[in-house]
Structure 1
Amino acid sequence: MTPSRSSPRSGPHGSGPPSRSRAHGGHLIGAYGLVALTVLLVLVFSLTLPRTFPTQDTADSILSNQSIPAVLALAAMIPIVTGAFDLSIGYGLGLAHVMVMYLIVNGEWPWPLACLVVVIGGAVVGLLNGLIVEFGRIDSFIATLGTGSMLYAVTGWITDGGRIVPGPQGLPAAFTDIYDSTLLGLPLPAFYVVALAAVLWLVLERLPLGRYLYVIGSNPRAADLVGIRTRTYSVYAFTASGLIVGFAGVLLAAQQQIGNPSVGLDYLLPAFVGALLGSTAIKPGRPNALGTVVAVAVLAVGLTGIGQMGADFWTIPLFYGGTLLLAVGLAGYSARRQLSTVASRDAPAAPPTPPTSPPQEGGPADAPP
């Protein structure tokens, strides 16, 4: 009787290759681990703080207060896709919101025109950042740190080191409503985040532009060899980031209703924590819009719960700093794991070794030497 031979594609019980099932399980954990962590944090804080955390006021507060950090995190994510960093986004946010207040209060501009000019100005700042990095051949970390310092100087020059305070009549109600209004019972800023994340997901995941940006971020040399204009598309990424920063500045002005020249710096670290931590979720190993939103949700729920438990003020920077280190480490691990998975999948299989049959009697093996 011929012994049965198990299929090489089945596991010990014929249920599929164990390595593939383990890899699939690891992928699910990596992709949706932050989503599960968000749900877990909500449950823990709801049980710990049953009177304050699981309420409509808390949900509205999270959706409203975390909208600007989420928008800025999405802005920071775009250059990261190409392997660059834009450290000027915090300074740009401060300048943008101060300019909106200056044009409306001091310049007496119509608020729609002021907002439009500031958003376009943000795109111009992003364009200049991209040109300096790509055509000036300056490292993005150094270049944007320098331009950010210059933006901060312009902010101080416009405000003369003080604050821009509206007059007794205040700001136009239609302008403040772009932040204070609700839609379908939820704060309107939450819908801005959802719409922006959907647009970025469509561009990065479904359009050729997004694929070009990912190729540039993973291997610029290979992108050049296949004909992708790496400099041009990198400038596009910085410009889009600046455009979103300008929009975030408009939202910040409508929220604060006062021009504070230093407020933008408070958003720099949360933005990069969200962008880097987001690269470990949904699409582990690469920055993505949906992962960034999930990361911001984790941070928002964690900070809200910690705050309601009466934590001291210094726990916030400690939380962000520790999370940033964790995010960078997890992002690097996810990227290395993705590369090793691709390499093992694309590696050529070893040729099969032909079976050796024992020599027959009377054959050459029995012949005398």
Structure 2
Amino acid sequence: MSPPSSRRSLPGQRPGHGHFLGTYGLLALTVLLFLLFSVALPDTFPTRENVSSILSNQSIPAVLALGATITVASGKFDLSIGYGLGLAHVLVLYLIVEEGWPWPLACLVVVLGGTLAGAVNGVIVEFARIDSFIATLGTGSMMYAVTGWITDGGRIVPGPQGLPADFTGIYDAVFLGLPVPAFYVLGLVIVLWVVLERLPFGRYLYVIGSNPRAAEIIGIPTHRYCVYAFAASSTVVGFAGVLLAAQQQIGNPSVGLDYLLPAFVGALLGATAIKPGRANALGTLVAVAVLAVGLAGIGQLGAQFWATPLFNGATLLLAVGLAGYSARRRLRADAAVP
């Protein structure tokens, strides 16, 4: 991923149409898809109930994609996030149902555990010098083993009394007429936007992701900041696991892997919008919106079950291709400036 460009428009020069298309094209596509499905499905799609359903159902993929955005910004990929999500949601339910822990304490321990797991990933990648794909695939497999050990290969099912209402309410509640998880996503987007766009931490990550060698030369402690990136990403994954537990209310050891591909689709496709050429929180939010509207629309049109992985896979290929094209285009444009 490329760092923020230092290129500036000359006096009197206006950004070209390609600039606006690259920046806002994905947002325009979201609006276009919503309008098309609204015309095709006027009785079900453009309704408040459908919008609320989309916001609720896509909140966990959105949170996970935002977590993936942090490591993508540093030029790394954390393939353990799907396994981590599965472990986190199972562990929350295990502590509440099997061990009788108060649910706030269980949630806090799981989120902090996610931070620790991410830091371990970062140490392995940065200090053991193992490629992030290989390292996080290995640690992810170990997380999956721990998940199986906790559940003994089965499911964690609450007793007749069910789960605490306050715990399930962190997902089921409604605020200002909208599902509460939508506000979690919005809050996380704001936090990441500030951190990545306005604070030195984010700028350092972009430089590291663009050119780690140059980052070391100018004095950025690349190893430390990459460990921070992995830790921050896994903290978000732990929070997503808490939400998934409150949504599912049953511990399923294999459910986390279903979220891995959509998370990376959102993070990589988001790198082609708002700030083309680099991972950014607003772009990820727009990308998730495209996926959410598209999947909801084809689902209501009666698409078969295999349409969802087909849509996600095709969109991932498109995202990677567009991200690469956007980065090359930015490099060519910067090289052309005297």
Q: Is 1:217 aligned to residue 220 of structure 2? A: no
Instruction: Within 5 Å, give how 1:145-294 maps onto structure 2.
Output: 145-294=137-286
Residue 339 of structure 1 deviates from its aligned partner by 1.2
Alpha-carbon distance in structure 1 between the residues aligned to 2:31 and 2:58:
17
Unmatched runs of 5 consecutive residues or more in structure 2: 1-8
Residue 16 (structure 2) aligns with: 24
The yes-or-no answer on 1:344 pairing with 2:331 is no
2:39 maps to what in 1? 47
- Cα separation, 2, equivalents of 1:339 and 1:191: 36
Please name the residue that 1:320 is paired with: 312
Give the deviation of 1:83 after TM superposition.
Answer: 0.6
Aligned-residue RMSD, C-alpha: 1.3
CA distance in 1, matches of 2:228, 2:326: 26
In 1: Cα distance, 2:32 partner to 2:103 partner: 42
Q: In 1, Cα distance between the equivalents of 2:175 and 2:333?
A: 44
Secondary structure of 1:302's counterpart equals: helix
Do residues 94 (structure 1) and 86 (structure 2) align? yes
Deviations 1:44-100 (A, max 9, x none): 000000011011111000000000000000011111111100000000000000000
How many residues in Structure 1 have an aligned counterpart in Structure 2?
A: 330
Matched, 1:37 2:21: no
**1:105 — aligned with what?**
97
Alignment of 1:63 with 2:63, yes or no, is: no
* Deviation beyond 3 Å, 4+ runs, structure 1: none
| C-alpha displacement of 1:25 | 1.6
Deviation at 1:322, TM superposition (A): 0.3
Report the counterpart of residue 6 of structure 2 in structure 1.
none
Structure scoring higher RCO (CA < 8 A, sep ≥ 6) equals 2
Match for 1:311 among 286, 292, 303? Answer: 303
- Name the aligned partner's letter for residue 120 of structure 1: L
**1:300 corresponds to which residue?**
292
In structure 2, give the amino acid aligned to 1:302.
G
Q: What's the counterpart of residue 83 of structure 1?
A: 75
Q: CA deviation at 1:197?
A: 0.6
**Structure of larger gyration radius:** 1
Offset at residue 24 of structure 1 (A): 2.4
- 1:255-307: CA deviations, max 9, x gaps? 00000000000000000000000000000000000000000000000000000
Distance 1:330 1:238 in 2: 25
CA distance in 1 between counterparts of 2:271 and 2:322 reads 9
Percent identical residues:
75
What amino acid is the match of 1:309? L
The gaps in structure 1 that reach 5 residues or longer are 1-8, 11-15, 348-369
State how far apart, in whole Å, the 2-side matches of 1:143 and 1:76 are: 15
For the residue of structure 1 that corresponds to 2:224, the secondary structure is helix
Distance 1:195 1:236 in 2: 20
Question: 2:114 and 2:331 mapped to 1: Cα distance?
Answer: 35
Q: TM-score, normalised by structure 1?
A: 0.88
Q: Out of 116, 120, 132, which is 1:124 matched to?
A: 116
Aligned partner of 1:331: which letter? A
What are the Cα deviations for residues 92-133 of structure 1, in whole angstroms up to 9, with x where unaligned? 000000000000000000000000000000000000000000
Give the residue type in structure 2 aligned to 1:125. A
The amino acid of 2:44's aligned partner reads: T
Structure 1 residues 316-365: Cα deviation after superposition (integer angstroms, max 9, x where no partner): 110000000000000000111111111212x3xxxxxxxxxxxxxxxxxx
1:144 to 127, 130, 136: 136
Q: Which amino acid aligns with 1:117?
A: V
Q: TM-score, normalised by structure 2?
A: 0.96
